[in-house]
Amino acid sequence: MSDSMPTSATLEEERKIMAAYSDTAKTYTQLSLGALVLSITFFEKVLGQSGRIPVDLFLLLAWVCWLASVLAGAFYQYLAVRFLEARGEE
């Protein structure tokens, strides 16, 4: 066995580390999605506005950032699984 070949213990350690990072990414994703939904729901339920919601630039920027955070978290989780699959096949 060469030094470049991952051992079973190394793969298990990588899996544990990736699981911790994935859990963190999942938490950030859930928080971002919750903030996005809560802010939209606030307009509809608390302020009683329906139909087209008037937004200013800062609110729109916050919504775009929250959406980007959700997409980045989901993409990270996908890449983490793909990484572990590739390492397991080696």
Domain boundaries, the chain: 8-89
pLDDT at position 1: 46
pLDDT for 90:
65
For residues 89 and 79, what is the distance between their CA atoms, to the nearest angstrom?
15
Residue type, 7: T
pLDDT of residue 3: 53
Range 47-50 contact pairs with CB under 8 angstroms and sequence separation of 24 or more: none
Closest CA to 73 of 40, 37, 33, 39: 33
Predicted TM-score (pTM) of the model is 0.67
Write out pLDDT tens, residues 11-70: 788 788 888 888 888 888 888 888 888 888 887 788 777 777 778 899 889 889 888 988
Cα 57 to Cα 82: distance, rounded to the nearest angstrom? 37
- Quote the tokens at residue 39: 């802010």
Give the pLDDT of residue 17: 83
Q: Which residues contact 38 (CB under 8 A, 6 or more apart)?
A: none
